[in-house]
Amino acid sequence: MADRRDFLKTAATATAALAVAAPSASALVRPFRFGGAPDPEALALAGIDAARSAGAQYADARVGRYRRQSVGTRERQVTNVSDSESFGIGIRALVDGAWGFAATNDLSLDAVARTAAEAVRTARAAKRVQRRPVELAPVTPVRGTWRTPVAIDPVEVPIEEKVALLLAANASALKVPNVRFANSGIQSLREVKTLATTDGTLVTQTFFRVNPSFSATAIGNGDFQSYNEELAARSAGWEYITGLDMPGNGERWAALAAEKLGAKSVDVGRYDLVLDPRNLWLTIHESVGHPTELDRAMGYEANYAGTSFVAPPEAMINRLQFGSELMTIRADRVQDQSLSLTQWDDEGVPADDWTLIDKGLFKDYQTTREQAAWIAPLTGVKHSHGCSFAQSWADVPFQRMPNISLLPNDKDVTMDDIISATDRGIMVTNRGSYSIDHQRYNFQFGGQAYWEIRNGRVTGMVKDVAYQATSTDFWRSLDMLGGQSTYFMGGSFNDGKGEPGQSNAVSHGCPATRFRNINIINTGRAG
């Protein structure tokens, strides 16, 4: 398998960060006003001091400023422009083994103190129904700053420039015969987050994320077909968007929608399934990422997001043969440009990378400081894997998915190598519709474009394709794994979980792959 030092490109993260032992919270108090605006560090420190004075044994405070921007276009017109900003503080308090949380956008010191007291009151009320006392894994306090490595802040790029790029991409697509509709868009996020804890941590991080999109629809022969290009969302700046050359590639992408008009409908049956990584990343997300969330496996998400077939932990860790020996899955928050890229999570835990599945054998879950103790006797890991995250200052942090990625082959296996070794197969690219049960076990996935393979050659495009399997049968059938040259990192800008619901951004890297004898259905036929 590939050496993880090649897999995890951490240089940009490491050079952008400063982490040293932190002094006590009281020694870090700064003037409340800084440059005529509330000082986030002073606000956060005031929040944890007020919570501790109200009776909390532990407290953390997150001050966040979020700027979200979205631009959408269709053919030759702008369909959407939105630009919003929020600024506030969220305080979490631990009292006698129970959590309480409160938040406010009133950033006066009196309001912060009232919010801290409310968090403590909530914790005392929650203690009456607490299922088990909270025990936090140890963490070394840190003080420092970190910033997503970008050259150009995507939020500050003029709207006119974004619109011009998108309309140029649409115009390119509309050159293709039979293509009648073209849509494109860009979402941008800038987030500045300051965290203070009663452990002594005080850190400020600045995050940048971008999410481009492009789709085209062709009409002809009494049919219509659409194609969505897989433009990965990334922790990156405007330079990533310009590097995609959407105007230069729009015609090529739209041509696939037109080509689908002439595709034959797939014959149902068993095929060897060849997956482009632009499709496989979503299957990883649903069949590996969600089932290995520890709160889901322990039943804490059953009411909304479901449970997990990877449960109970004592029957799974070092026992479940999840996949074939080609399957090694790493979890991380350090891959360059990944959506979960960070230096510290929302509990001040340093970004981690660890093995979930080693050569097909299940090894570990995703954890926070609270969750680490739940399975420490089974894994021998006493520290948190740094999976605590909240979507904004107004939301309570809880366990969220880090990057979950399939490591590539250490040999240079190409997509052509996989195709030439396949006698009867279907190749799928880009994400499409999908369905999966609440245990993340039985599933069905589609894509955007499909090709039939016969005797080692691609014989033509097909349509109406979806593949079905159970998660373990699917991953145990993995028999060919592409090398680093086929590796691609896709991701979700809005992965939902929790009640009230929160959205997380997460990436999944993987190479080209082949799965033997997978059931292919025809989605265009009734019955």
The 10s digit of each residue's pLDDT in 386-419 is: 999 999 999 999 999 999 999 999 999 999 999 9
19 pLDDT above the threshold of 50: no
pLDDT value, residue 305 = 82
pLDDT tens digits for range 360-383: 999 999 999 999 999 999 999 999
pLDDT tens digits for range 263-274: 999 999 999 999
pLDDT tens digits for range 198-248: 999 999 999 999 999 999 999 998 899 999 999 999 999 999 999 999 999
Which residues make beta-bridge pairs with 272?
Answer: 425
pLDDT value, residue 6 = 45
pLDDT value, residue 131 = 82
C-alpha–C-alpha distance, residues 27 and 17, integer Å: 22
pLDDT, average across residues 445-456: 98
pLDDT tens digits for range 29-74: 333 333 455 799 999 999 999 999 999 999 999 999 999 999 999 9
DSSP per position, 151-193: SS-GGGS-HHHHHHHHHHHHHHHTTSTTEEEEEEEEEEEEEEE
> Around Cβ 417, how many Cβ atoms within 10 Å?
18
**Average pLDDT in the chain:** 93
pLDDT tens digits for range 174-183: 999 999 999 9
Positive or negative: CA dihedral 415, 419, 420, 422 = positive
Quote the Cα angle for 22-23-24, to 5°: 120
pLDDT, average across residues 479-493: 97
pLDDT, average across residues 248-256: 98
Element spanning 114, H or E: helix 109-126
What band does 16 get if pLDDT is binned at 50, 70 and 90?
A: very low
Which tokens go with 339?
Answer: 């959506």
pLDDT, average across residues 181-198: 98
Query: Quick one: which of 272, 291, 289, 273 has its CA closest to 281?
Result: 289
Asked if 184 and 213 touch (Cβ cutoff 8 Å), the reply is: yes
Domain architecture of the chain: domains with CATH: 4-260 (3.30.2290.10), 264-522 (no CATH)
17 pLDDT above the threshold of 80: no
Element spanning 35, H or E: none
pLDDT value, residue 22 = 33
pLDDT, average across residues 319-334: 98
Which tokens go with 88?
Answer: 């506030």
How would you classify the pairing of strands 264-265 and 457-463? parallel
Tokens 């997460």 map to which residue?
A: 506
Asked if 400 and 429 touch (Cβ cutoff 8 Å), the reply is: no
Query: Quick one: which of 259, 258, 244 has its CA closest to 184?
Result: 244
Instruction: Indicate left, alpha or beta for 444 from its phi (over 0: left) and psi (-120 to 50: alpha).
Output: beta
Which tokens go with 47?
Answer: 């929040």
Q: Is 144 exposed, middle or buried (0-12, 13-18, 19+ CB in 10 A)?
A: middle
Asked if 519 and 513 touch (Cβ cutoff 8 Å), the reply is: no
Asked if 482 and 415 touch (Cβ cutoff 8 Å), the reply is: yes
Which residues make beta-bridge pairs with 85?
Answer: 67
What band does 434 get if pLDDT is binned at 50, 70 and 90?
A: very high
Per-residue 3-state assignment (H helix, E strand, C coil) for 438-462: CCCCEEEEEEEEEEEEECCEEEEEE
What percentage of the chain reaches a pLDDT higher than 70? 93
